[in-house]
Chain A
Amino acid sequence: MTLVRGLLRDEGGKGDRIVPPTGFTAQLTLFSAGAMAFLAVFALALALATGRLADHWSTQLAGSVTVRISAPADQQEGQVQTALQLLRTTPGTGEPRQLPQDELAKLLEPWFGPDMPVDALPVPALIDLPIRGDDFDAEGLRLRLEAEVPGAILDDHTEWRRPLVSAAKRLRMLGIVSLLLITAASAAMITLAAKAALAANGQVIRVLRLIGARDLTIATAFVRRFTRRAAIGSAIGTVLGVGAVSILPDASAAGGFLTGLGFQGWDWLMPLSIPLVAAAVGFLATRWAALNMLEAVR
């Protein structure tokens, strides 16, 4: 707390003036903090985007099941009607909807092209069944369909969903690990820079100790300087990073995953935490380095 008070105390800049200006080294620290913050913005965007993707795949695909009915042409309509009847009485579901021919054609379009006469193909009928409640029992429905609609197959998307959600979660983890590595690398970099500054200012430390400066007073002069550099450098890096993310193609433009790598809604406020975290890392790393080094000087 004493150190925090020292950081906040207005001494007319005198506290900072105790440590001589370092010019180029200061710019290097600013640049490194900025570069780390720039990378952190992208890691944060990756973590948030993959999080959204995992949620999307989990909730959207889990929000409905599909019943596929493949039966001889003369029995298909009858089985569809039986299935619709059965599905309407299934607990935890909404109104089942048979996909019309034009929607089926659209689904097949990527494989057969727009001009393929879908009517001429033995395409199975698809019924979309929205899930409304927790009491929906997929296994029970599967058994009932087997008994009453021999040509029906229930697809609850589990096979598709599981690897996609798993991949998205791993990507999110990668983003989080990247953020942690960036934080650790920033701490290491600031610690090294602070130790170098302390070593280069041996005379300053000797003079200060001779005239009765406490360790915290000396440390505060260095901590304040490095905290400020980390905060300013990372603020600049964050602004540039957010700017770069904002000019990425919009997710809705192509609908692919990579184009969705960005922030949405309140997510745009998340990068504001990067300079704060960088300042905290600068503060703690320099404090640790300074107090450890000063401990060795009587």
Chain B
Amino acid sequence: MPRERRAETEKRWRLIEMRDVGFGYHGRAELLSGMTLSLQPGMFHFLTGPSGSGKTTLLRLCYADLLPTAGQMTAFGHELRDLSRDDIADLRRRVGVVHQEPQFLDHLPVAENVALPLSVAHEPVDMDALRDLLGWVQLSQHARALPPSLSGGERQRAALARAVILSPDLILADEPTGNLDWDMSMRLMQLLIELNKSGKTVLVATHDLNLIRATKAQVTARVLRISGGNLQLAGADL
């Protein structure tokens, strides 16, 4: 294989690649600086750090909701700054995102919300697969319910189902258990572990060290910590 082609393949192999990436909101000092990170397929990552350290910002950079103000960042081999608006939309179909407080189209039933990524990608909805997915996140009973009637845990699971329906390569979860009790948090983490075991790359931002410890007991996970705007690999202190 020619050297350039191999380099290109390796580049695509890394889902997200950051080289000395910095980011600062308008008119403020850099929140993140000198970040170097490579997210590779099939890995499970935790991103931790105190509140306000930039965890959410880092995740937003990963799905091109923000663009880095310094350094180089690629997603699926493409430089983030070079992406057009349509390219960014296409990128987001390859990245499933779950927020702490997920938003839905409140006038549509849960099943339609979950299937929404298929609709916007103009792909047909396989009703059997949709039923299976709702069953997997234990929301079969709520398929016809409207999102405002769901509990916090149900909303998170619905958001996870919506995030994975297009079978994305990367799943980003921003404090997904922030509003959930321990049992519900572990149920959600179990789903993320299953996704990871099926080959998906998962990046979970959380400040809950107990959750990280409990998850690490079941899956090999890399823990990254943001401190002082820099990214470090956390180790034995967990």
Instruction: Mark A residues whose CB is within 8 Å of B.
Output: 11, 14-15, 17-18, 20-21, 203-204, 206-215, 217, 295, 298
Is B93 within 8 A of A207, CB to CB? Answer: no
Can you show 30 pairs from A to B with CB atoms below 8 A apart? A14-B112, A17-B107, A17-B108, A18-B105, A18-B108, A18-B116, A18-B120, A203-B106, A204-B105, A207-B104, A207-B105, A207-B116, A209-B89, A209-B92, A210-B63, A210-B103, A211-B116, A211-B117, A211-B120, A212-B117, A212-B120, A212-B121, A213-B89, A214-B85, A214-B89, A215-B86, A217-B120, A217-B122, A295-B85, A298-B66
Is B108 within 8 A of A212, CB to CB? Answer: no
- Residues of B with C-beta under 8 A to A298: 64-66, 88
Is B120 within 8 A of A20, CB to CB? Answer: no
Contact residue among B86, B117, B162 (Cβ-Cβ distance under 8 Å from A214): B86
Closest chain-B Cβ to A68's Cβ sits at a distance in Å of 78
- Residues of B with C-beta under 8 A to A15: 119
Closest chain-A Cβ to B95's Cβ sits at a distance in Å of 8
Closest chain-B Cβ to A290's Cβ sits at a distance in Å of 13
B15 within 8 A of A: no
Q: Complex formed: what's the CA distance from A113 to B9 in Å?
A: 104
Q: Is the interface of A mostly helix, strand, loop or mixed?
A: helix
Instruction: Mark B residues whose CB is within 8 Å of A.
Output: 63-66, 85-86, 88-93, 97, 103-108, 112, 116-117, 119-122, 162, 166
Q: Complex formed: what's the CA distance from A18 to B105 in Å?
A: 7
A18-B105, A21-B107, A206-B103 known; A11-B119 Cβ under 8 A: yes
Q: Complex formed: what's the CA distance from A294 to B108 in Å?
A: 22
Closest chain-B Cβ to A294's Cβ sits at a distance in Å of 8
Is B90 within 8 A of A211, CB to CB? Answer: no
Q: Complex formed: what's the CA distance from A208 to B112 in Å?
A: 13
Q: Complex formed: what's the CA distance from A212 to B119 in Å?
A: 10
Q: Complex formed: what's the CA distance from A21 to B63 in Å?
A: 30
Is B166 within 8 A of A17, CB to CB? Answer: no
Q: Complex formed: what's the CA distance from A217 to B121 in Å?
A: 9
